Structure 1
Amino acid sequence: MSRTTYSPPRHQRGIATLLIVLVLGLAVSVTVAATLYSLRGAQSQQLTTHSATAAQAAAWRGVEALRQYLVAVDSTVWPGWVGNDTKPVAGLAALGVSRAQLTSVQAVGSDHYRVSAQVTGQSGVGTALTTATVEVVYDVMPGNGLPGTPPVCHGMPNAPVVFNGDVRLDGAGTQVVDDKYDYENIVVSGKLTITAGGSGKVSGCAKGTVNVSGGDLADNGHLHSEDDLVIGGMNFPAGARLWAKNITFNGGSGGPVGRAWAGAYDTVVYADGVAVGEAKVGGTLIGDTVTGGTVTGGTPWTRGTVLPSGLAKVKVTFTEGKGSADEVAFLLNLPALDLRTALDAGTGELRGAAAVMEQLSGQAQPAFRNAVLTFRSAAIFGGAITQGSGATTHINDAWGWNLSFGSDGRSYDNVRAAGSLAIQYKGVKIGEFAGGGSIWAQSGSAAGTDFPAVRGRTAGNRYFGAGKQLMNTALQPAGFAVQDGQSSLSPGLPGLPYCDVRINYIDADAYRELSNYLFDSNNGRPQLTIRNVTRADGVVIGDAVGTVYPLLDPDPEQLKVLEDLFACGSWAGADKGCRAMSGNGKWNLQPQKTPAGVFWFDASLNVRAASAIVGSLIVRGDLALIDAGGSKLLEAPNFAGAGKVCGGRYIPTNLCASRSELVTWTDAEGKPHTGAPIGNAAVISTGGMDAQGWTSIRGSVVLGKRVTVSGSKVNIEGSLSVGNNEFSKIDIGASGLKVETPQDWKNLGQLPFCSKGVESTPSVQATASVQWSRYL
């Protein structure tokens, strides 16, 4: 079936659009600039004819890169942005371009533009530095394509702990500590089951059902679910926050719970008046747009235009292709948008969403990003909050669709029920109630006794008694001060919490070139390739290409290096040390010592270390950290610090700027960082990890499959990501895990993942050619 994409009426092309693509498009990244650059046909001849020096050649490469970007002009990209026609354009350093500046943009006729620019190339350094500047004029006919986005080879994890799978936490000591950072502790792509004992403290979200039958929430913690949340037993700290599709309290004590929120409007999403998708949205319904309720009289409200709130991110799924492999979905980060200016309170129209919109999947929909959006409710999604008699906790803020309180003697400061509220016992106290439907005091009597203490208003009727009798105006029980029949009253719904469990697929081969010590085999014979390693006295034992050391039959000089690195000769037997580590398809690493650096293995790895390891272990397969007596510490290079990594006998030159300093780099936003991203990873494994008694891992752990803990609790300082390569069943046993984010998270949290990026999509109608040029 062919896909029909959303395409609103095309807007007038404008000068600002050209400027946008030139300025912002070129600033995207060095990678895109280098990728788009090509010299073909006339451009290649022009370069050959006019460049007599390396600097001139660099300038002409910049001229061609500019021309390539002009082909990707789209009149709907970044609308309303007003630039400065002399603003410098960055991102061409990889081509030897030091400066690219627009000097003018002029309309020529109805469909062409004359764009003038100056491009400066440079070559050499210091006193040998030369430059050349070319002034160029392009003739441009804009197209309707999109500029590309570059691959990014670094990024922060979505949470300290990311599980792609169904997770069961049985460990009494399972803890995640990140009090200094405002994001999830644990994010789970499947179901989450918590049965931990009293010492375990967790917080986080899941896309599947969350079932809790023991354990604690972290202080000021939360449990969110895009599905149901069922509490069988839990010790709530004061202020605990719960949010889900539906919430059921069968047990639980402590607290009071700060909030319990459930339910969203199931909406049709309109872009410029055209129905394009679906979304679960929180907010309130606009009274003038309501078309009816679930009962006679139009209450409670279910259908109408939603005035969205900024409480939750919203996933928009395009209707066509929903559930298919090519599903198109966007994520609207509404909490990041100023709804006071972006939202029309009378119509519900949302403008400027492109600033907080991210495409999650599917083909590009540029028109949707810049459309005026509205959300029309068609039904209610979830919203049930049920508190059984076994739950002995108070709730400060309860908000949902249908609420049922069956626990006696509990108090609620604020209760919002967009649908209905049922109260079973007279001992319940509600400070302030707002209802969009009915309220039912099940314990109340016709004599006006045994009613709960409630103050508030509701749009529907009041009922009492086990038989649900309609309460007339003459019956005014003491303490039950609820006004019924309040027109246009609906407290709305909180929406659905979005659990961001996006992960990066792990390909161990992507890190081969970053390794210092590469263990693989050649025709079945194990070998070690040493790369980018220099001895402290300046002797290079492995250059950038790499020096190969055979492990079965090294010559005397090679053996001397190997023994100095790993103390190979301290064992008897061919299967130990580093001479013959490959056996049964696995590597068995049993060093008395190890150099600092990045280690890469072409198969599964068993490690029995007699001393601490300072390094990153990159494994194509499973990793087993086996208790062998000695130290049980694995430190990623950046966590160990420059002294241990750069100040030793062997120096990994790709990680060190000097004997006392790690390398520095600057991200795409211009922010400086210390330590290469690969140096923040203690483990990257395409399979799973089995930690047998290893007590401390300083550095992030990224696993393609599962994690297993046995013996002592494993303490990870960094982040933990499990199931990156496949949805897994994850069971953390009684030993437990503790994951703690480090103080210098802005540097140490960066991980070496490369996104795929998006190629530019130039329109076939777009043209851009050089009309005139000269050297300045």
Structure 2
Amino acid sequence: MNVRTHILRRNNTGGIFHQRGVAALLLVLLVGISATVVTLGTMSYVRGSQKSQLTVHGQTQAEINAWSGAEALGQYLNGIEVETVTTAMDDIVFSRDNQTIASAQYKPDCSQTSRDLYCFDVNGISAGHNSNLEVVYQIPIIRDVSYTEISNPIVIKGDTEVTGGGMAYLSSDSIDGFAVDGNLTITNATKSIASGCATGNIHVNGGGVEDNGHLYSSNGDITLEGLNLVGADIWGGNINVLAGSGFHFKSIKAVKNLKVTNAGNFKSDFIHANAVSFALEGQLGETLVHSDIAFGNGKSHLDYLEAGGNLIFHQDDQSHVPEFTRNSKIAGKILLRTGEDGNTLSTHYNSTFKNIEQGRTATDPGVPEWPECNVDATPFDVNTLISQANYIFYIDESDKPMLKIQNVKRASDDKSIDATINLSSEGGMNTAYLHNKPFFQCEWDSKSCITSKSNSTDGWVFEGVTHFPPGVILFAGKGNPNQRNLAPMNFTLASKSEKVGPLLNTILVTGDITLGRGGGRKEIHAPYFSSPDAVCDGDFYPANLCDKSSGSWQFEGKWDGDRVERNYPVANTSIMVNHTMTSEGWSLEGSVIVGDTFKTDSNLTNVHGVVVIGLNSDEGGMKITQGGIVVDFMDLDSNFLNIPTGNTQVTDESTLGIPTAMWARYY
């Protein structure tokens, strides 16, 4: 048992006064109950920037037992469900040596759960005597995070431009690659091996889609050129196939018109369109056309044709007469394009037309429906995830840089290190060490991460990172974490030392984030994409993510599949930023969620998880000018399509975090 003694008492303004009254300190030895001891008057406040815990002054054994019960109550409350406190804590009993020494009851009338304040009566008992204590704890609720179920591992709200580098998606199953709410343009890029959809226009010139992949537009046109496609499904409004080295489509569905221009070796196993026009020949399977179908130079082959209009071909020459494998039919006529301009149509009844019936009434396959492209996703604010964070860098109301530590314990004794620390020059905090252990270290050495590089203009700037403690880190601007109102502020992780392994963190940012091009092993692994031993078995560990009750380290949470799916889903995320993200060649294990635009400037960014972009902006999207992005979904399943949006809710199953005693009084 650890016993600490203090002779301090704080008033509402934070001033420190000597104890009034009895000055003797009691050293209380309690077997089986950890107690922290301090002298208290009639009413004592124990709040402050550093974490404060209940302390004991008892003039009778009953009073001593009351304070011991209050301390034990604080330990008991950590991690229990909210419903247990509000409905099932009528009388909790604390014992020592099989003797009841205290009991506690929840008091809803003096609690303010909206402010995370919980009030209790604690009754100390000894030899028939009682001592009553009223205690108020502030206990952050580990809020259940609401989910947005996304349709694709890559969801982008806003126009997407890949003008260099590329975009690739790797998966072992049939889950689609991307969904874009806007236009998609891929030009001058390496092959973009991805399938998916867009709500606007799609233009691909160079690059392409993966073999047997697909491109759908739910409300726009698709233009393809400079490609070599194999087994692709294309579906949209107007579909324009321009010059390319080779096209073999599995299917083409054009709600409007299909136009093929100077596309050599064109093949499609299935076509359904309003109208079809070929400048040259084509090798077609089943072809369904609402109105006219026209062919240019060359000899086209069709397995089957059904058209609601005319069949038009170029020149009265046997070499240009289309051939049909199966008996086909059209509602209109077979027309020959003649004249010097090639625009004069005349009826042609040459006997060389085989397996085609003209003037077949009631022949009209109609037009295909529009495809769906589901890009529904909920806007978010990382402020609502504050209760799940372990380290919060922010600016307080007096413009001082601060670090709030919460839900963190010291491995050596499992004691909480929760505190709020002044990082300003007058505060004198060096982040390189805490309790003589490596903490936040930068500048390519064991130096503090807080330097003149961090300022109100550039935001938080960390360079040459050599050590971060594992857990969830939030970088923010001015405000109060307890009120979840932190303003936007940027974070730049300019570089990372090559001497250290990956950072085991989830990084949350209220503004923009830049992952710089500086050297080193540029890797960030979300906690739950690492191992429990790596995250939990260090000098400091995130107590809300780690559990050793079974004897070995395990991750906290409710499990679904091979990853934690509830309670701490943010720990499956490597980056979550309210505004813009720029990445220059980083490898990110864990999902990436971006409120505005995602950019890559150099080298390839690899993401193992889902990528969701533009949820907070009408003008978000992705811009890749060089480098590119690879999204790896190979060993993940559809559970990962349920992403934390940052919106939180309190349910009966929500659990309580580490309690902080705010005040206590005898009554």
TM-score range relative to shorter protein? 0.5 to 0.7
Once the two structures are superposed, the pairs formed by residues 488-503 of structure 1 within 5 Å of their partners are 488-503=362-377
Structure with greater helix share of residues = 1
Once the two structures are superposed, the pairs formed by residues 112-131 of structure 1 within 5 Å of their partners are none
1:702 aligns with: 593
Alignment CA distance shift 1:126-1:572 (3 Å): closer
1:605 aligns with: 491
Q: Are 1:516 and 2:508 an aligned pair? A: no
1:452 aligns with: 322
Task: Give the CA deviation at 1:418.
Answer: 1.5
Select which of 601, 604, 623 maps to 2:513: 623
Cα pair 1:171 1:200 within 8 Å, conserved: no
Task: Give the CA deviation at 1:179.
Answer: 3.8
Q: Are 1:435 and 2:272 an aligned pair? A: no
Once the two structures are superposed, the pairs formed by residues 197-236 of structure 1 within 5 Å of their partners are 197-225=189-217, 226-236=219-229
CA distance in 1, matches of 2:445, 2:321: 83
CA distance in 2, matches of 1:731, 1:629: 23
Which consecutive aligned stretches of 4+ in structure 1 deviate over 6 angstroms post-superposition?
120-128, 555-559, 569-574
Task: Give the CA deviation at 1:390.
Answer: 3.4
Alignment CA distance shift 1:654-1:210 (3 Å): same
Larger displacement relative to structure 2 (698-707 or 241-250): 698-707
Once the two structures are superposed, the pairs formed by residues 577-726 of structure 1 within 5 Å of their partners are 577-578=449-450, 582-585=454-457, 586-590=459-463, 591-602=465-476, 603-607=489-493, 608-610=495-497, 611=500, 612-658=502-548, 660-665=553-558, 673=565, 676-692=568-584, 694-726=585-617
2:341 aligns with: none
CA distance in 2, matches of 1:748, 1:647: 26
Task: Give the CA deviation at 1:517.
Answer: 0.3
CA distance in 1, matches of 2:89, 2:421: 38
Select which of 468, 491, 495 maps to 2:345: 468
Alignment CA distance shift 1:752-1:549 (3 Å): farther
Q: Are 1:404 and 2:277 an aligned pair? A: yes
2:70 aligns with: none
Query: How large is the RMSD of aligned CA atoms in angstroms?
Result: 3.4
2:411 aligns with: 536
2:171 aligns with: 178
1:134 aligns with: none
Once the two structures are superposed, the pairs formed by residues 126-145 of structure 1 within 5 Å of their partners are none
Task: Give the CA deviation at 1:755.
Answer: 6.0
2:110 aligns with: none
- 2:542 is aligned with what amino acid? P
- 1:470 is aligned with what amino acid? T
Cα pair 2:144 2:566 within 8 Å, conserved: no
Q: Across the two proteins, how many residue pairs are aligned to each other?
A: 490
Select which of 251, 254, 271 maps to 1:262: 254
Q: Deviations over 1:378-406 (max 9, x none)?
A: xxxxx200111234321111111111122
Q: Deviations over 1:632-677 (max 9, x none)?
A: 101111112322212222111111233521123268x9x9847821
CA distance in 2, matches of 1:746, 1:563: 44
Cα pair 2:247 2:265 within 8 Å, conserved: no
Q: SS of the counterpart of 2:508?
A: strand
CA distance in 1, matches of 2:642, 2:544: 17
Give aligned-pair identity as a percent.
23
Larger displacement relative to structure 2 (604-613 or 526-535): 604-613
Cα pair 1:680 1:749 within 8 Å, conserved: no
Cα pair 1:248 1:385 within 8 Å, conserved: yes
Alignment CA distance shift 1:520-1:707 (3 Å): same
Q: SS of the counterpart of 1:511?
A: helix
Alignment CA distance shift 1:449-1:609 (3 Å): closer
Alignment CA distance shift 1:699-1:242 (3 Å): same
Can you give the 5+ residue segments of structure 2 that lack an aligned partner in the other structure? 1-80, 96-142, 339-343, 477-488, 650-667
Larger displacement relative to structure 2 (488-497 or 559-568): 559-568
Task: Give the CA deviation at 1:438.
Answer: 1.9
CA distance in 2, matches of 1:672, 1:163: 25
Alignment CA distance shift 1:660-1:754 (3 Å): same
CA distance in 2, matches of 1:155, 1:190: 20
Q: SS of the counterpart of 1:582?
A: coil
CA distance in 2, matches of 1:240, 1:556: 59
Cα pair 1:562 1:568 within 8 Å, conserved: no
Q: SS of the counterpart of 1:154?
A: strand
Q: SS of the counterpart of 1:621?
A: coil
Q: SS of the counterpart of 1:230?
A: strand
- 2:222 is aligned with what amino acid? L
Can you give the 5+ residue segments of structure 1 that lack an aligned partner in the other structure? 1-92, 99-119, 129-149, 264-382, 758-776
TM-score after normalising by structure 2: 0.67
TM-score after normalising by structure 1: 0.58
1:744 aligns with: 636
1:477 aligns with: 352
Higher relative contact order (CA 8 A, sep 6+): 2
Alignment CA distance shift 1:252-1:123 (3 Å): farther
Cα pair 1:525 1:552 within 8 Å, conserved: no
